[in-house]
Amino acid sequence: MRVTQSMLSNNMLRNLSSSYNKMGVLQEQLNTGKKVNRPSDDPVVVMKSLGYGMTVDKVGQYQKNLGEVNNWLDSSDDALDGVGQVLHRAKELATNAANSGAMTPGDRDKIKIELEQMQKQLQDLANTKVGDKYIFSGTMTDKPLFNGTSYETDAAFGKNVEIEVFDGVNLRVNTDARKMFEEIDVLFERIKTEGEGFDFSGAISIIDRNMDIVLTNRADIGARSNRSELMHNRLEMQEGAAKKQRSENEDIDYEVVITELITSESIHRAALSVGARIIQPSLVDFLR
């Protein structure tokens, strides 16, 4: 087959164009640090990267959910700590009253005044909020447990609130303390209204029982906090693994790409030099 000058010129132009394209791809990879910059570069790599990215995003959402879980648990524990302090002081008052025999009207007035303040403190604690949600109101998080006159009795105020922290894993974040708050409130109200005839010895047993309830609830909150910490560690491990896989899938090896670019430039210059010898000088001048 006869090789014409036109065939030589076309082959050279085609090879030069291919060489330019390859160097352009390598330069873009160096600029972005990515193996692919559009789906057409490598659909398989792009699809894998999307999958890893979705995993990272999902883990990020679960980590945000865990943050909300910890807010609920920490706020619940702080509130119950406040309840415990109120009950401790109430027990001191009841013990003094039970051991002092007959109480003077002045003594009863002092106890009544302090109990009123403790009662209001308990009502405030029962309406503790995280953000705009009441944490002791069960699933009725938009409504306070103490409505200003009494404690809510709807069953929804005792239902559990759960937050998803992993695929198929939910953590209960609320503490059902409705009956405890109501019983203490009723006790304080009786002490204020029954006056001298009130049985303070009986009140001490009621207070002790509710103090045990507070401790039990705080222990339960501590156990859930520990589980939340374990889930946090698990999510960090999964996030790290997904980011590593995504990096291995789409990030370039700079040393390799730089070497390939230098090699491509050398080949490109060699091709230009060879082409200058095999085609007509006028065409070479035109290309320059």
**Which pLDDT tens digit goes with each residue over 97-131?**
777 666 676 777 788 788 889 999 999 999 999 99
Highest mean pLDDT among 42-51, 147-156, 197-206, 218-227: 218-227
Beta bridge partners of 163: 171
- Residues 211 and 204 sit within 8 Å (Cβ to Cβ): no
Q: How far apart are the first and last CA of the chain?
A: 30
DSSP 251: B
**Alpha-carbon span 177 to 146, nearest angstrom:** 12
Cα 132 to Cα 127, 188, 233, 264, 271, distances in angstroms? 11, 29, 28, 62, 71
Q: Residue 273: how many CB atoms within 10 A of its CB? A: 9
pTM: 0.76
Q: What is the pLDDT of residues 162-215, one digit of tens each?
A: 999 998 899 999 999 999 999 999 998 888 787 666 777 888 999 999 999 999
